[in-house]
Amino acid sequence: MDLTSNEPFWLVKNGLLASYPSLREDLETEILIVGGGITGSLMAHQCMKDGYKTVLIDRREIANGSTSATTSMLQYEIDVPLFELTNMIGEKGARANYWACSESIDQLGDIVKTIKSNCGFNKKKSLYYAAFKKDLPMLQKEFEARKAAGLPVTWLTKEQIQKKYNLEKAFGGILSAHGGSLDAFKFTHDLLEYDHKKGLKIFDKTNIKNAVYKKNGVILTTEYSNSIKAKNVIYCNGYESTELIKDKFVKLLSTYAIVGECFDKKPKLLSDTLFWNTSDPYLYMRTTDDHRILIGGEDEDFVDDDKRDALINEKQVALTKKLKRLLPESNFRADFAWAGTFGETKDGLPYIGAHPNFPSSYFVLGFGGNGITFSVIGAQVIATVLMGKKHPLQEYYRFRR
């Protein structure tokens, strides 16, 4: 599966940061991690921290899948609103998941400090605003649910949003005090380099062609007939997990994003806040650490590579028009446009843990708009399970739930 179109902004901005060899020998290890994006890097970091002999592989270059195309918006807000999630899984579980996502942003910040990454990690606020007047009752209900859960939120009126952000077409919204952003591509490379120096073995351009799953371990064979024996394999391969798991557990879609310069001082008001709205599909926006504006959305209900990429120019025009309606004085010029694959689950929650069809294996699949925060949580969940303990959130992430 081709997860991105050509030239995502982060890949062009950073270039080839590191190169690792492909696997050319047979290996035996305690933990094998499949997937060298941000999820795999976080899982590998946790495994190394816990003292496991760990190997990480990727079929591409490191971080060149979805990580190269992510908008890297760090939000505790799950794609399913808190009040709706409460109806699905109960108040205790819904609140616990929202709070876990919130705490994961600070935990990610701690990792950034530990490895001394210059990935542009910044704490930010997050504004979830009503794109239409008809959405206000729903949004106010969500505000009350978050407030009752103790989450740090403030209600902003249309006038307050206009005054604070110079934002048009926003009819009121929830301002959350906790969010963030980073360059996920750079962070992934920095984190893997840190752990590689501590003994993590990394192989890119290494594709698995066959796997034998047993209760006492897994044997995987690469396309060049090298074997890897592992006590446990942890799949951190995101949307490509659908090639392996035949359950209909996630709906894959295509999303589009553009990045460009603004030649107006007022959009600088946006720099400390993430933005997303109640449209379906929703629009999302943030600034980058080099002061460009990133805006995305215009999702499509398909993942065919050619069909998806053929729409990039059309989607660039559409997103530019939407940005100019939001920020009429922005004088925006698009510099980069790309498309990527993302997934929706029925409850907005990830799939983390074991699957009954794959002995000695675990999955960390952080789908949705806040996949990065779910990846932080996922590493903690799997680490707990590997120690023979039960994590309080794992029941909400199980397959076939």
| DSSP-assigned letters across all residues of 244-290 | T--S---EEEEEEEEEEEE--SGGGGGTTEEEEESSSSPPEEEE-TT
Residue 5 has pLDDT above 60, yes or no: no
Residue 290 has pLDDT above 70, yes or no: yes
Contacts of 309 (CB under 8 A, 6+ apart): 5, 6, 339
Give the pLDDT confidence score for residue 303 in this predicted structure: 79
Each residue's pLDDT tens digit, 25-77: 999 999 999 999 999 999 999 999 999 999 999 999 999 988 998 999 999 99
Average pLDDT over residues 189-198: 98
Give the pLDDT confidence score for residue 204 in this predicted structure: 96
Average pLDDT over residues 304-320: 92
User: Band of the pLDDT at 383, cuts 50, 70, 90?
Assistant: very high
Residue 127 has pLDDT above 90, yes or no: yes
Give the pLDDT confidence score for residue 92 in this predicted structure: 98
- Which of these, 335, 254, 256, lies nearest to 293 by C-alpha position? 335
The angle at the Cα of 337, spanning 335 to 339, to the nearest 5 degrees, equals 165
- Record the pTM: 0.94
Give the pLDDT confidence score for residue 1 in this predicted structure: 54
Whether residue 81 is preceded by a cis peptide bond, meaning omega within 30 degrees of 0, is no
If you classify domain 123-180+251-344 with CATH, what class do you get? alpha beta
CATH 3.50.50.60 domain position(s) in the chain? 9-69+185-246+348-397
Give the pLDDT confidence score for residue 4 in this predicted structure: 46
Of residues 180 and 304, which shows the higher confidence score?
A: 180
Residue 192 has pLDDT above 70, yes or no: yes
Give the pLDDT confidence score for residue 3 in this predicted structure: 44
> Which two structure tokens, joined as six digits, stand for 51?
């003292």
Average pLDDT over residues 172-188: 97
- Which of these, 222, 282, 232, lies nearest to 257 by C-alpha position? 282
Domain 9-69+185-246+348-397 has CATH 3.50.50.60: yes
CATH 3.30.9.10 domain position(s) in the chain? 123-180+251-344
